[in-house]
Amino acid sequence: MIPLNQNLSTLKRSAIRVYSNLARETPDCAMLTIGEPDFDTPEAIKAAACAALRDNQTHYAPNQGTLALRKAVAEFETSRGNATKADNVLITIGACHALFTALFGILNPGEEIIVPTPGFGLYETIATISGAKTVPLDVTKTNFQITKEALEAAITDKTKAIILNSPCNPTGVVFSEESLAGIKEAILGKPIFIICDNVYNQLTYGKTCPDLSLDQDLKDQLILCQSFSKPYAMTGWRVGYLTCPGYVMDRLLLLSAAEITAVPTFLQEAAVTALQTDPSPMRETYRKRREYVCTRLREMGLRFPEPEGAFYVFVDISKFGMDSGTFCTRMIKEGKVAAVPGACFGAEGYIRLSYCYSDEELKKGLDRMEAFLKML
């Protein structure tokens, strides 16, 4: 057998997929696992893609992305306070590719990246493949917020970046102004990047979402990763982008071109239309579902951080005396409802429920969860 890349030897299948597949193999199991909008892509976006195909926009796009989409992204980001030029925008195959490109572009073997935990498992995967190391920053004891003191304690001479995902997957928590001020004070002027994974940024409920990508003092240290998947129900289209300083773009563009050449041209035309589409009707549906799910969980006597964005609830199951993997496996097999173990986000004693499912599926799943808990 020919040896392979040793950095891949520790990689594991996504627990989200593992437990979703187990649920699919279990007859009549209610799924509350996947973070994918249950809406169809808006008609105007689909029409733009069809029109681009009829117009024969099927040839290679520029490596960095079409000028039309990069300008549209720059205008969109600038309109929300993140002053951006088209030259500082790179169009990617979704936010996952943006994250891969950003982290591969900045990390050297042996360097460290700080990841607030619980957090999205892909960050550790990318760091591992690149030969870098993730440093978990546990926020479960600080109301799921980052403190300046904890961050400063995690920083070493090997620290290269911190990743911020707000609203957070899996908790739905939004980092507060106080948290972001502490991060800025700890990072500003140091040779450390801030990676803002903003894929849920447009899905917040009731208040604005504080965002370090809007802070002009940090522009030379900041890389923003964004996706069209969540706010515009375009998960299968695989279109996203990143923004970064010019000196970083010079390198990331070469890396992205080597990885994918470019995002398909007709998809980029559709993405221009997406940026002109109002996501608020979907957001309002998620808000109502959030209220229903949180009410039901409270009635079951369960605790969780209040989700202020995204479409997840991170439920504390520590009182049931079993690890999160065992809990989720039993709930699938005995209760016929599926969730994701908190351990796959780096936080044992919790499970993640997704509420981007139909009202009927949510009621069925929560009814079954309530019945399952009564059996424990």
Q: Are 29 and 97 members of one domain?
A: no
Residue 44 DSSP SS3: helix
Q: Are 244 and 313 members of one domain?
A: no
Residue 9's pLDDT is 81
| pLDDT-flagged residues of the chain (< 70) | none
- CA angle (127, 353, 368) in 5-degree steps: 145
Of the residues 246, 274, 302, the one at which a domain ends: 274
Taking the C-alpha atoms of residue 63 and residue 125, their distance in angstroms, rounded to an integer, is: 25
Residue 207's pLDDT is 72
Closest CA to 133 of 103, 153, 105: 103
CATH number for the domain including 357?
Answer: 3.90.1150.10
Q: Are 197 and 120 in contact (CB under 8 A)?
A: yes
Condensed to tens digits (0 to 9), the pLDDT of residues 209-254 reads 899 999 999 999 999 999 999 999 999 999 999 999 999 999 999 9
Q: Are 100 and 86 members of one domain?
A: yes
Residue 28's pLDDT is 94
Residue 243's pLDDT is 98
Residue corresponding to tokens 């936010």: 95
Residue 247's pLDDT is 95
Measured in whole angstroms, the distance separating CA 236 from the mean position of its chain's CA atoms is 15
Of the residues 226, 242, 274, the one at which a domain ends: 274
Q: What's the domain count of the chain?
A: 2
- Dihedral in degrees, nearest 10, Cα atoms 219, 225, 231, 236: 160
Q: Are 147 and 289 members of one domain?
A: no
User: How many residues make up the chain in this entry?
Assistant: 376
CATH number for the domain including 105?
Answer: 3.40.640.10
Burial of 79 (0-12, 13-18, 19+ CB in 10 A): exposed
Q: What is the DSSP letter of 116?
A: E
Q: Does residue 235 lie within any of the structural domains?
A: yes
Of the residues 230, 248, 274, the one at which a domain ends: 274
Q: Does residue 49 lie within any of the structural domains?
A: no
Look up the domain containing 78 and give its range: 58-274
Tokens in use for 244? 């970064």
Residue 74's pLDDT is 98
